[in-house]
Copies of this chain bind each other. A is one copy, B any other.
Amino acid sequence: MRALVYHGPEDIRCDTLPDPSPPDVDGAVIRIERAAICGSDLHLYHGHMSSETGYGVGHEAIGEIVEVGSGVRRFRSGDRVLVSGVVGCAECGPCRTGNVAACETAPAMVFGVNQGLPGGQAEALAVPKADANLCAIPEGITAEQAVLLTDILPTGYFGAVGAEIQPGQDVAVIGCGPVGLMAILAAGLFSPARIFALDSVAERLAAAAGLGAIPVDVSADPLGQQLLDATGGLGPHAVIEAVGADASIQAAIGHVRRGGIVSVVGVNVRLDFPFPMALALMKNITFRIGICPIPLFWAPLLPLVREGRLAPDFVFTHRMGLSEGAEAYHLFAQRRDGVLKVLLDPAS
């Protein structure tokens, strides 16, 4: 089958990989209908994650089940499903509730990052533990919305849940890339009075403003004075960080008000991150960071998308064929052409 394959830094190409083997007793094989490139794929693209090459990439995919193991109970061939980008053991207590990030067997795994799971930017995908890791796509949800439910919409929601937003509070979201925009959408579900959206890229700030957020251009206001001015000097009750850079995580701790919450969905892999502990201590801060347990959030999000209360698909600015995968990665990595997120069609 055709699949996007990692060949080294800045070198991902549409290539041929073996078709998936028949699924084991609990697994399923999906014919991919649509896939997408995630911001976290860029870590891999830039060569930060593995020195090996030759493996399939991508963890955002939806499609139709074409083969299913005999032990799968909730799905059958022909079902149209979305795949959790992050998977757990499916059997332990947390996994049975969908909280795969607290799996008691092993750290949660991600498709397409050479941890043993294949990539989803391909024509087909083998999914282990199908009952736990697949979700039927209900009537009223489009393919593009379904792709967003495989990772970044749940991830944005995870950030908003971690921020414990109460109605009428003020929230800031740092970073208005695809995940940050999903975090803005999701934060709105908890009815803050205001969402401040921080970024320095005009298109991203404009997209945030289009969601009802108050754009804050951090290139013009690096210290967040606008946040203080708007909140009587207190800062927002919660800050969702969706970049992962050292400076922006530190800014989140700096901006939040006393007693507030910082909820990080950006990826930061420092082992000695310079944490302003004295500030956190004086401010009584709750700080969260983690991998989104995606299946945990399908129950709230699916009906909201289905009923039109959440409309995340604006984020797809580019639709390309799998054969254009190399170009798609280049475009996305270079933030060309106002790109927010790229959808891939395995059929072309």
B166 touching A300, Cβ below 8 Å = yes
CA distance A250 to B115 in the complex (A): 27
- Binary contact readout A96-126 vs B (1 if CB under 8 angstroms, 0 otherwise): 1101011110010000000000000000000
A17-33 residues with Cβ-Cβ distance < 8 A to B are none
A274-306 residues with Cβ-Cβ distance < 8 A to B are 274-291, 293, 299-304, 306
CA distance A216 to B260 in the complex (A): 33
Do A309 and B193 contact each other (CB < 8 Å), given the known contacts A102-B284, A258-B103? yes
Residues of B within 8 A of A259 (CB): 94, 99, 101-102, 290
A307 within 8 A of B: yes
A299 touching B168, Cβ below 8 Å = yes
Q: How many copies does the complex hold?
A: 4
A243-289 residues with Cβ-Cβ distance < 8 A to B are 249, 257-259, 264, 267-289
Kindly identify which residue among B234, B281, B293 contacts A268, using a CB–CB cutoff of 8 Å: B281
A7 within 8 A of B: no
Residues of B within 8 A of A232 (CB): 104
Distance in angstroms from A219 CB to nearest chain B CB is 25
A282 touching B291, Cβ below 8 Å = yes
A206 within 8 A of B: no
Residues of B within 8 A of A96 (CB): 96-97
- Output the nearest chain B residue to A237 by Cβ-Cβ distance: B102
A97 touching B97, Cβ below 8 Å = yes
CA distance A257 to B74 in the complex (A): 23
Residues of B within 8 A of A267 (CB): 281
Interface size in chain A (residues, C-beta < 8 A): 67
Distance in angstroms from A107 CB to nearest chain B CB is 6
CA distance A190 to B194 in the complex (A): 15
A284 touching B276, Cβ below 8 Å = no
A290 touching B285, Cβ below 8 Å = yes
A48 within 8 A of B: no
In this complex, the member of A276, A284, A302 whose beta carbon has the largest number of chain B beta carbons within 10 angstroms is: A284
B193 touching A107, Cβ below 8 Å = no
A71 within 8 A of B: yes
Distance in angstroms from A277 CB to nearest chain B CB is 4
A interface, CB within 8 angstroms of B: 71, 73-74, 91, 93-94, 96-97, 99, 101-104, 107, 162, 166-170, 189-191, 193-194, 232, 234, 249, 257-259, 264, 267-291, 293, 299-304, 306-307, 309
